[in-house]
Structure 1
Amino acid sequence: MTDVVVARRCVVGEGPLWSVRDGLLYWLDIPEQRLRWLDPATGATEGRSLPDVVGSIGLRATGGLVAATRNGFAALQPATGELSYLHDPEPDRPEHYFNDGKVDPAGRFWAGTLNDGPPTATGTLWRLDADHGCHPMRRGVICPNGLGWSPDARTMYFTDSRRYTIFAFDFDAESGRIGNARVFASVTPPADPDGLCVDSEGCVYSAQWGGAQVVRYDPAGRVVGTIPVPTRLATSVALGGPDLRTLFITTASIGLDAAQLAADPAAGTVLAVTVDTPGVPEPMFAG
């Protein structure tokens, strides 16, 4: 059973990220341009306003966070909310913005862009290296979402929500190359696969926007469990806590009027449930 661990609502809560280094859960309220964090040991929460729309974050080895923003990749200092821009790979595409992203096992940060308007296959999945060079890794993306890697770093998962599909790729950790794209799992509308994380057994947890659930897939893409969510718009997931066995679930309240919010008290909150299999520590961006 899921519990509400942060009751203060987000419009679109996204990008949950557990930091072993800090003992904190970070997440975003994207439309509100706000970074938030929770100390589960005390229940205390804090937040900072951000000067740009941030779609995703990752840990940074030199301290703070790395972020994918409306205007490219940036370093983010949680204490102040300050952004220092590193690289904008699409300066000629002002209609594009970054969405979900994650750090790979070798310390590179991956994030995808999408069109700010009617869904079109014009987005790109980008890889930001430690030297701040950017590389387009997959084009023709409609809505880039959940990313993750298998514990052996040989498989990468990538979600295109508007294709209702989680893809798997062969992954070369040394070079950062991907290949052999294939369908890992398909989701039936009106649910969309959104953010994901991978546990230490190699199973994939996928938040299902519109589906009021989180689905767990085994490494072959078979459904091996579902976690009901007490609100329709689950956005993303992260394994954390002291033993990495707490599944944190972010949610959204966007589009709900006062009566709907009153009837859906979990909308926009952060939820948590204890699971049997722990996660793995999130890698840190090396740049």
Structure 2
Amino acid sequence: MDTRRLHLLVELSRLGSMREVADAEGLTTSTVSQQLAALAKESGSTLLEPDGRRVRLTPAGRRLADHAVRILAAVEAARRDLDPSAEPSGTVRVAGFATAIRRALLPAIHDLRGTHPALRVELEEYEPLEAVRALADDRVDLALVYDYNLAPSSPGAPGDAHESVPLWTAPWGLGVPAGDHTDVADLDRFAEHVWIVNSRNTADEDAVRTLASLAGFTPAITHRIDNLDLVQELIADGHGVGLLPLGRTYRPGVQVLPLPEPGVLLRAYALTRPGRSTWPPLRAVLDRVVDR
């Protein structure tokens, strides 16, 4: 199969319309259509189907697009081996949770601006389940996600539709109103309290329920809040307790107590679709994110 035609198919899967592919590639829409028709004939499959006034990939088209990414990545890797001065260029779409964006992605973008000016990064702030769905739908190229040791999501397990690279781990504790001066949270003391969990990610609630179960009670989960600043306000005003990262400075009225064993450990990961991590622009971003 012609690699140029495979490239156009991949771009159509990413951009969503022939006009956008034509504009991006400096071609006419008619040329793009003809090339994809020739690719369908080469493959012996129907790759496109009508979708209103546009077209969309058929299941066979999506499968071939996934194969095409691997094929083109291999071709590009070969070119890079022969031309080590080749410059990564293009747009890398990233979805991730706020801490990962601040801690890893923004410094990576800053570095890349100086080393690879032709490389562009688009980012969206998503919780893990949202980011994984965006990755599965091919709406992003890289997902920065997390789970907890007490609520594992097993990213990268056999059969998963992504590849996983560990980034970092961070201990979390129990955020309570200031004034409790114990060194470690005695969970029994908070059995009758209202608990606060994340509104957009179930791992937070799963970890809280596991902790409470180990301590012999069922938590009264009343508030579901995504923003950690708002969680702090609720805790400071006596409206509940909840998990917060250890080792940070918090607003007056809030303290974070270490948890008894096994504790809660946040684990951050970078996820990519199979075979795509060798795409040079994505590789450049991923290498810098992993280094943080």
TM-score, normalised relative to structure 2: 0.25
Higher percent of residues as helix: 2
Higher percent of residues as strand: 1
TM-score, normalised relative to structure 1: 0.25
Structure whose CA Rg is larger: 2
